Every structure is written in structure tokens, then in C-alpha cells.
Amino acid sequence: MDRDAFVIRTLAPRNGVAGENPFPWDGKDDRGEIVPDEAYSFRIVADGTDEYFPAAREASMLAIDPLSYSRTTATLTYVLPTASRVHVQAGAVHSVGGSKSMEGPVLKTIADRQPRGAGTIAEHWNGFDESASFYVPDLAGFAIAVAASPLPENSVITFGNAKRPFLEYAAHRSGQSLLSHRSGATHHGGLDVFNDVAPRLTATAVRVTSDNVAHLQLRADGPTAEAFLRQPGRIFVFVDSNLVASFKADRNVRPLEVPLRADGEHVVAINWRSDYGPVAVAVVKVRRDDDGSRR
């Protein structure tokens, strides 16, 4: 089965014998196509009643501490106790009002619910934000968060198929999932791929008006955008890592009005956070000059 428990290959039945029973799988689906890069698990039924179905047991999400980020090799390392689906994000945080609570924007999603094997993991990330305009590790309060959901027991992670991404493959699946997918039960829990992965979010600076307010237009794109826009959530607006606005998300969101309280260049980050777990991130630089020019 694929990550959403759609059957992609039925292996030929046979009369089992006591002991080991090998069932080779060549990494192809029932149509003879090589499956996309993803994690695949198995369901085995013996004698019509004895079932092995580890994907039916939902695993709790774990917080993983990053080991290091190397500027030289552009590599983030962390250790997974078991094969997991990971969500890795980078941003900048600071304490709120001198308290122990922290806030700050997500500036880059490094891995969005991707499968990884157990052990030490090396993620390649060049250190730049979603807009590729500035180097995140240089910011005060630079932080990386890693969340991991253990994969079903005995999952197989495939790699090397650069021709077809899994989201494209999933859009043309036939049949039904063997699981009942639900929304909002737990953080990222019970979601199919279209509800579990955030879309690409872009923010375009329409103009900066004479009252020093930047007007930004948001747009969500990609194969998961439609499902994401149906999810309840909130939009958080940060200027230079400081929260300046928060409001209920609406798929028909109007242009954002972001006040710029000082001259110079500012980093505006928008985090569109679904109540189900996905976070869409957009970052844009806006400049306010004291000579009257704005862009």
C-alpha cells in the first residue's frame, strides 16, 4: 500500500508453509509502473482471518532535537529512533514579553512530511528562506524544529524515481483507501497526502502607500492547494520576526495590509497555519525609505 493505504500492488496468493515465506516485490504497481519515491507498507491476510496491518495503528508524533547545521556543507543532521515521516522547518524565535513562551515565523520548510529511515539523517538545505532572498541562520533567534511520525512497521522507503512525484501519482489512483481518513483528529493525524502537505504560498508586494503600509497579495498553488484552502486555520503576519497580525484564514483572503513602523528594508513572513497541522509559508522583502520612495 502507499502512504494513504491505497493498494498499489497485490502479490500473488500462495499456500503458506511453516516458517519463512518470501514474497518478492520489484517496486512496481499493478500496472507495471515503478512507484514514486515514498514509503510503502504491507497488509497480509492468512486463512482469510489472520491479518497483519500495521498501517491501521496510528502513531504519535515525536519532537526530535536537531544535532547541527553546517554552513560549510549546507547540511542539517538529526537522529530518528525509528523510520518516520518528518516535518522539518526553520525560522527565527524570541521570547514574548520576557516570559518563557516563544514566538516567531517559519521561514523555510525543509522537509514537508517526507519519509526517512532510522538513524542519523542528513538533510540538504542551503540556508535560504522560501523566497531565496536571505540567509536564515544569520538571523537572531535562528531555530530548527523537527517533528516525526513513525512509519508503519516494516515499511519500505523507495527512492530514485525522478520522473514522477508522488502527488502526481496519487492524483490518478484508482480504488479506495483501506483506511478511513479524517481531518483534525490529531496534529497531522489521519490525513491523506492532499490534506497533509502544505501548498506553495507566495506573497507579492502590490504597493507601499504613503502611510507606510505594505499591501501584499497571497496566492496558494500546487496540487494540495485546493484541499488546504478548505481547511480551517489562521494567518499570522510577522515583520522582522515580530508578530503584527493574526486572523482567521479565508480562501478568498483580501490583500494584506502590513504596517511598516521604521525606515529601511523589512522581512515580511506569512504563516498560513491549518488547524490540521500543515503550514504554508511565504516570505517577501519590503523597503521603506525616508526620502519618500517605497517598494
Residues 20 and 157 in one domain: yes
Give per-10-residue mean pLDDT for the chain (295 aa): 96 81 91 96 87 90 96 97 97 75 89 97 97 93 96 96 94 91 72 95 82 89 95 94 92 84 87 95 83 50
Determine the pLDDT at residue 101: 63
Residues 113 and 159 in one domain: no
Residues 46 and 163 in one domain: yes
Residues 169 and 238 in one domain: no
Task: Calculate the alpha carbon distances from 218 to 5, 15, 267, 272 in Å.
Answer: 33, 58, 15, 10
Residues 31 and 163 in one domain: yes
**Is there a domain that residue 49 lies in?**
yes
Residues 145 and 68 in one domain: yes
Which H, E and C letters describe the chain, residue by residue? CCCCCCCCCCCCCCCCCCCCCCCCCCCECCCCCECCCCEECCCEEECCCEEECHHHCCCCCEEECEEEEECCCCEEEEEECCCEEEEEEEEECEECCCCCCEECCEEEEEEEEEEECCEEEEEECCCECCCCCCEHHHCCCEEEEEEEEECCCCCEECCCCCCCCHHHHHCCCCCCCCCCCCCCCCCCCCCCHHHHCCCEEEEEEEEECCCCEEEEEEEEECCCHHHHHCCCEEEEEEECCEEEEEEECCCCCCCEEEECCCCEEEEEEEEEEECCCCEEEEEEEEEECCCCCEC
Cell of 189: 493525524
Backbone angles phi, psi at 170, to 5 degrees: -65, -30
Residues 71 and 47 in one domain: no
Query: Are 283 and 133 contacting, i.e. CB atoms less than 8 angstroms apart?
Result: yes
Cell of 166: 508522488
**Is there a domain that residue 184 lies in?**
no
What is the reported pTM?
0.90
Residues 160 and 138 in one domain: no
Cell of 201: 504560498
Determine the pLDDT at residue 126: 97
Determine the pLDDT at residue 97: 65
**Is there a domain that residue 241 lies in?**
yes
**Is there a domain that residue 295 lies in?**
no
Residues 39 and 143 in one domain: no
**Is there a domain that residue 234 lies in?**
yes
Residues 78 and 140 in one domain: yes
Determine the pLDDT at residue 27: 95
The single-letter code of the amino acid at 130 is E
> Domain tally for the chain?
3
**Is there a domain that residue 168 lies in?**
yes
**Is there a domain that residue 190 lies in?**
no
Residues 216 and 103 in one domain: no
Domain carrying residue 278: 196-288
CATH of residue 249's domain is 2.60.40.10
Determine the pLDDT at residue 205: 76
Buried residues in 98-111 as b, exposed as e (16+ CB within 10 A): eeeeebbbbbbbbb
Residues 91 and 208 in one domain: no
**Is there a domain that residue 7 lies in?**
yes
